[in-house]
Amino acid sequence: MRYEGENETIMTEVSAKEPLVLFMPSGKRGRFPIGTPVLEAARKLGVYVESVCGGRATCGRCQIEVQEGNFAKHKIVSSLDHISEKGPKEERYEKIRGLPDGRRLSCSALILGDLVVDVPQDTVINAQVVRKAATDRVIERNAAVQLCYVEVDEPDMHKPLGDLDRLKVMLEKDWGWKDLLIAPHLIPQVQSILRKGNWGVTAAIHRDMDSSRPFIASLWPGLKNEAYGIACDIGSTTIAMHLVSLLSGRIVASSGTSNPQIRFGEDLMSRVSYVMMNPDGREAMTKAVREAVNGLIGKVCEEGQVDRHDILDMVFVANPIMHHLFLGIDPTELGQAPFALAVSGALQYWAHELDIDVNRGARLYTLPCIAGHVGADAAGATLSEGPYRQDRMMLLVDVGTNAEIVLGNRQRVVAASSPTGPAFEGAEISSGQRAAPGAIERVRIDAQTLEPKFRVIGVEKWSDEEGFAEAAASVGVTGICGSAIIEVVAEMYLSGIISEDGVVDGTMAEKSPRILQNGRTFSYLLHDGEQRITVTQNDIRAIQLAKSALYAGIKLLMEKQGVDHVDTIRFAGAFGSFIDPKYAMVLGLIPDCDLNEVKAVGNAAGTGALMALLNRDHRREIEKTVNHIEKIETALEPNFQQLFVNAMALPNKVDAFPELAKVVMLPERKVLSDDGGGEGGGRRRRRSRE
């Protein structure tokens, strides 16, 4: 037999008359004897075609299409005459369940000649891909759970083998599973399930346990044609979740909710302090987050019309403190040097051990943590974006209350965390708020008149457009969310309202009534309505401190890598999705880079969890990768303080931004004293191309 891949050919003795079969879109091909089921050919070539029923033509998951024509490139003439006609089993399935035109069941269809076989990508039953929003990402399916239907021999007085043992015999005979374990809770149920199914049952085999032996996780009478998994990212502010079909890879539902631990503290360290100061603090926070996860599972199951007890596998990512609290581990050691994790490696649990209400046999897997403040969420984002898989130097930044930074390529990857605090999420800002209807999300300031215009979440129009007031009446203008905080400070700098050192220029009050005096400092009036929204000197300082912590951490990693620039930047996290890269660079949040190479990648941590859920090989991949990532502790680096001081300036006191200067006219450089008056340094015009 001969198999041909895209990059290699494996040859053995083969009859020249054996048909050549090409599977699309994978491009895998091979020669097989006449009469070979198409499903068997797919499996031998490693082409993923799902089947639950073991070739009995009852589950309908193995649908394929045969392409007709002369495929000169592949030297194949494919025809419907080269595949067997529908047999009784396939006709029965079509009569009962229906088959789309041109579709066949690959378990019943036999190879009679050369074929080009298409594995459909556009149906729920055969979908092999999960597309991440705004990308064409393909996640190859190799889930930890497989459904296997078998028909078990009835009891025989002459053969005293137990019901469970006969079940195992058939799972080995039909599916090749040897030496199976079984979830203990199922043992008392085996006999009743077998009899209820008239000896036909579907077993869920879980094959990613700590030991090498797979186990029976669940058992149903008759044919069970679907199983589900959960991919979840527990953030300090929000919890995001996907409900996914483990058989097709289809995302059935997605949702999110606020992390209820916020009531114990806005940021991570305040939650650690709460644990230290309250004897029952850890238990209270663990209970709160688990209840939120259970509630979110109920929400996605209701949306997807799925029984939560059909969930058989779960993958979680989280920052180290959320990780520990979710698992019931005291996070106190993470609140003080040397920031020791209780456990850094990947973990496996029975979901019910963590009070998660899903199938009793469901497993829960957590990705490994990279270091004390670079968690499983950073590992998930690293798996998703893969700096270690490429030659170019990639900067991956997840901006939150604690920014996690990964920098590297296939030669070397380094990581660090920076305590940016909650300023970017609206906390510590006088008019700050979370992203919600009524929050200002975009800001522009006219450099000549200093008049602003802005957009509000929930309203399509800009504030200077006709009809804005009427449209905004229902939601109001209530505050500034994170993306707008970055934009308004950057715009204030570009328009000359603030100097490069972040001081509001009080002399500008002569130019515009929007420059307001507040004692010895000044502020900028962004909106004068029912809710008066200003940007104060203290607001700007909070943003400077947050962005300086992040930038100094990035520069430290660049020094460790021995590079003076990065080739590509990826913003991860919910906040990163709404940041305008140009304004992030004007602010000095990130280093200079070609703006075309700066992209938001959404919840990359959640995507990494999704990848690990749908393909257990990704679990081994990230476990191996994390062992080679070098963690840099910023608090121990002697140069961090100087990098931080340099980063307080906009964009930076010493670093040049030539790529940014190609698209933005940067203002004259001026340094002001804290009282906002006078000029404390020479002027230097930096010109750039429009």
Q: Decide if pLDDT at 455 tops 70.
A: yes
- Chosen domain end from 221, 242, 268: 221
On whether residue 196 sits in a domain, the answer given is yes
CA distances to 47, 98, 301, 339, 375 from 23, in Å: 8, 24, 34, 51, 40
Instruction: Output the furthest CA–CA distance in the chain (Å, rounded).
Output: 103
Lowest mean pLDDT among 50-54, 231-235, 568-572: 50-54
Tell me, yes or no, whether 417 and 560 share the same domain. yes
Question: What would the DSSP string read from start to end of 231-259?
Answer: EEEE-SSEEEEEEEETTT--EEEEEEEE-
Q: Decide if pLDDT at 44 tops 90.
A: no
Tell me, yes or no, whether 288 and 362 share the same domain. yes
- Chosen domain end from 69, 90, 123: 123
Tell me, yes or no, whether 535 and 580 share the same domain. no
CB 201 within 8 A of CB 194: yes
Tell me, yes or no, whether 526 and 435 share the same domain. yes
Residue 47 confidence class, pLDDT cut points 50, 70, 90? confident
Q: Taking residues 130-147, what's their average pLDDT?
A: 67
Residue 5 confidence class, pLDDT cut points 50, 70, 90? very low
Distance CA 453, CA 631 (A): 43
CATH number of the structural domain spanning residue 216: 3.10.20.880
Question: What would the DSSP string read from start to end of 292-310?
Answer: HHHHHHHHHHHHHT--GGG
CATH number of the structural domain spanning residue 85: 3.10.20.30
Q: Decide if pLDDT at 407 tops 70.
A: yes
Distance CA 107, CA 245 (A): 21
Nearest to 429 by CA among 514, 533, 579: 533
- Chosen domain end from 366, 395, 410: 366
- Record the tokens describing residue 646, joined without a space: 């340099």
Tell me, yes or no, whether 321 and 239 share the same domain. yes
* Residue in the block written with tokens 């660079």: 585
Q: Find residue 407's DSSP bridge partners.
A: 395, 414
Residue 683 confidence class, pLDDT cut points 50, 70, 90? very low
* Residue in the block written with tokens 């064409």: 136
Distance CA 228, CA 251 (A): 10
Tell me, yes or no, whether 484 and 533 share the same domain. yes
Tell me, yes or no, whether 412 and 549 share the same domain. yes
Tell me, yes or no, whether 311 and 411 share the same domain. no
Count the helix, strand and coil residues of the chain and give each as a percent rounded to the nearest 5: 30, 25, 45
Q: Taking residues 281-310, what's their average pLDDT?
A: 95
Q: What is the pLDDT of residues 186-229, one digit of tens each?
A: 999 999 999 999 999 999 999 985 556 899 999 999 999 899 99
Tell me, yes or no, whether 336 and 436 share the same domain. no
On whether residue 319 sits in a domain, the answer given is yes
pLDDT at 59 (0 to 100): 83
* Residue in the block written with tokens 């009899």: 195
Q: Decide if pLDDT at 639 tops 60.
A: yes
* Residue in the block written with tokens 């899903």: 358
- Asked if the bond preceding 338 is cis, omega within 30° of 0, the reply is yes
pLDDT at 300 (0 to 100): 96
Q: Decide if pLDDT at 129 tops 60.
A: no
pLDDT at 209 (0 to 100): 57
On whether residue 6 sits in a domain, the answer given is no
Q: Taking residues 664-682, what's their average pLDDT?
A: 62
Q: Decide if pLDDT at 37 tops 90.
A: yes
Range of the structural domain that residue 315 is part of: 228-366
pLDDT at 480 (0 to 100): 93
Q: Decide if pLDDT at 352 tops 80.
A: yes
Q: Is this prediction's pTM over 0.85? A: no
Q: Decide if pLDDT at 403 tops 90.
A: no
Question: Residue 568: left if φ>0, alpha if ψ -120 to 50, beta else—which one?
Answer: beta
Nearest to 590 by CA among 642, 637, 654, 651: 651
On whether residue 689 sits in a domain, the answer given is no
Lowest mean pLDDT among 44-58, 196-210, 653-667: 44-58
In three-state form (DSSP H/G/I as H, E/B as E, the rest C), the secondary structure along 577-606 is HHCCHHHHHHHCCCCCCCHHHEEECCCHHH
Domain count along the chain: 5
CATH number of the structural domain spanning residue 361: 3.30.420.480
pLDDT at 400 (0 to 100): 73
CA distances to 433, 517, 540, 601, 670 from 507, in Å: 30, 10, 18, 41, 13
On whether residue 8 sits in a domain, the answer given is no
Q: Taking residues 488-514, what's their average pLDDT?
A: 94
pLDDT at 673 (0 to 100): 60
**Chain mean position to CA 555:** 25
pLDDT at 452 (0 to 100): 96
pLDDT at 684 (0 to 100): 37
pLDDT at 212 (0 to 100): 64
- Asked if the bond preceding 221 is cis, omega within 30° of 0, the reply is no
Distance CA 590, CA 651 (A): 9
In three-state form (DSSP H/G/I as H, E/B as E, the rest C), the secondary structure along 433-492 is CCCCCCEEEEEEECCCCCCEEEEECCCCCECCCCCHHHHHCCCCCCEECHHHHHHHHHHH
Distance CA 103, CA 95 (A): 14
On whether residue 71 sits in a domain, the answer given is yes
Within 8 A by CB and 6+ apart from 576, the residues are 397, 398, 399, 600, 601, 602
Distance CA 667, CA 626 (A): 43
Within 8 A by CB and 6+ apart from 79, the residues are 66, 68, 113, 114
Distance CA 160, CA 95 (A): 40
Distance CA 199, CA 191 (A): 9
Q: Decide if pLDDT at 122 tops 50.
A: no
Q: Decide if pLDDT at 670 tops 80.
A: no
Distance CA 459, CA 452 (A): 17
On whether residue 133 sits in a domain, the answer given is no
CATH number of the structural domain spanning residue 393: 3.30.420
Phi, psi (5° rounding) for residue 581? -55, -35
Residue 483 confidence class, pLDDT cut points 50, 70, 90? confident
Q: Decide if pLDDT at 394 tops 90.
A: yes
CA distances to 271, 590, 605 from 366, in Å: 21, 30, 12
On whether residue 103 sits in a domain, the answer given is yes
pLDDT at 141 (0 to 100): 86
Residue 121 confidence class, pLDDT cut points 50, 70, 90? low
Nearest to 377 by CA among 324, 299, 300: 324
Residue 255 confidence class, pLDDT cut points 50, 70, 90? very high
pLDDT at 424 (0 to 100): 75
Q: Decide if pLDDT at 587 tops 50.
A: yes
Tell me, yes or no, whether 444 and 533 share the same domain. yes
Tell me, yes or no, whether 24 and 66 share the same domain. yes
- Record the tokens describing residue 452, joined without a space: 């602003």
Distance CA 280, CA 271 (A): 12
Lowest mean pLDDT among 11-20, 424-433, 442-451, 460-469: 11-20
Phi, psi (5° rounding) for residue 24? -115, 145
Tell me, yes or no, whether 347 and 233 share the same domain. yes
CA distances to 117, 154, 261, 332, 339 from 278, in Å: 63, 59, 14, 12, 20
Residue 55 confidence class, pLDDT cut points 50, 70, 90? confident
